[in-house]
Homo-oligomer: A and B are copies of this chain.
Amino acid sequence: MNTSTGPAERRTHTEQGIERKQQLLDAAAVLFSSKGYANTRIADICAAAGVAKGLVYWYFPTKEELFAELVRSMRLQLRRAQAAAMDPEADPLTRIRQGTEASVVFMAEHRAYFALLDVERSQDELSGRGSDVADVLREGSDVYATDVVRLVRDAQQQGLVPDGDPQLYAVGVLGVVSSFSHALRNGSLDVDVDELAAFVGGWVMRALAGETVAR
C-alpha cells in the first residue's frame, strides 16, 4: 500500500546529505548501545544529532531499518578487520587465531558501537512483529559461522584439529569471542586489550587443538 513514493526509497543524496546520514547513524549508535533499541526514541536520536524530529525519515524508512543499517555497517568493518589480520599464507588454525584476536581488538576499540550486536543474541526481541530486521541479524551470524566452519574443516584435513562436527567448533570459537567482548564492554574485566586478545587467542587454540592432560 502506497508503493509509489514512500519515504527514503533509494534516495540519491548530495554530499551534505551523506554527511547528515552519517551523523544520524553515529548518534543512533551511541544511543542504541547505551540505552538499548527499545529505550531509544527517534526523537532522542534527532536531538543528539541536532536536527528536527522528522528528518530521520528522509534518510531511513523506519527505526528498524536505521538499526539494521547500523548493524550491517559494523559487520562490514569487523569483517574487514578480520580479513586484514589473517595471513593468507598461514595455516588455517593460525588464521583462526588471527581472526579471533583481531575480532577482540576490534570490538574493544568499538565498544560503544558493538554493544549493538549483543542483540544478535536476542533476535526475537526485534523479530516479534514480523520485521525482516531479524533476517539481517540472522544472515550476519551465518556469514561468520560459514567462514569459521571452512577454516575448521581445513584444519581438520591438515590434522590440526581433531575430528568432529566443524559446526560445533565454529560455535565455540564465535561464542567465546563474543563472550569476552561482552565481558570487556561490561567492565567485568580489567585487562589490557592486547592481553585479552592474546588470552582469547590462546583459549581458542587450546580448545580447538589442545591435548587434555590425563583426566
Binding site for B on A (CB under 8 A): 1-2, 4-5, 33-39, 41, 43-44, 47, 94, 115, 118-119, 121-122, 124-126, 128-130, 145, 160, 164-165, 167-168, 171-172, 174-176, 178-180, 182-183, 188-191, 196, 199-200, 202-213, 215
**A8: min CB distance to chain B, Å:** 12
Q: Point out which of A33, A207, A208 has the most chain B C-beta atoms below 10 A from its C-beta.
A: A207
A182 & B188 in contact (Cβ 8 Å cutoff): no
Tell me whether A124 and B211 are in contact in the complex, defined as CB-CB below 8 angstroms, given that A175-B178, A178-B175 are known contacts: no
Q: Point out which of A44, A171, A174, A182 has the most chain B C-beta atoms below 10 A from its C-beta.
A: A171
The closest CB in chain B to the CB of A175 belongs to B179
B212 & A36 in contact (Cβ 8 Å cutoff): no
Contacts of A35 in B (CB 8 A): 124, 128
Bound complex: CA A211 to CA B175 (Å)? 21
The closest CB in chain B to the CB of A5 belongs to B47
Contacts of A39 in B (CB 8 A): 124-125, 128-129
B168 & A172 in contact (Cβ 8 Å cutoff): no
Contacts of A94 in B (CB 8 A): 215
Contacts of A47 in B (CB 8 A): 4-5
Set B2, B119, B176, B196: member contacting A129, Cβ < 8 A: B2
Contacts of A1 in B (CB 8 A): 129-130
B128 & A36 in contact (Cβ 8 Å cutoff): yes
Contacts of A44 in B (CB 8 A): 4-5
5 A–B contacts, CB within 8 A, in A order: A1-B130, A4-B44, A36-B122, A38-B125, A168-B199
A167 & B189 in contact (Cβ 8 Å cutoff): yes
A210 & B215 in contact (Cβ 8 Å cutoff): no
**A11: min CB distance to chain B, Å:** 11
**A138: min CB distance to chain B, Å:** 9
The closest CB in chain B to the CB of A32 belongs to B124
Contacts of A207 in B (CB 8 A): 176, 203-204, 206-207, 210
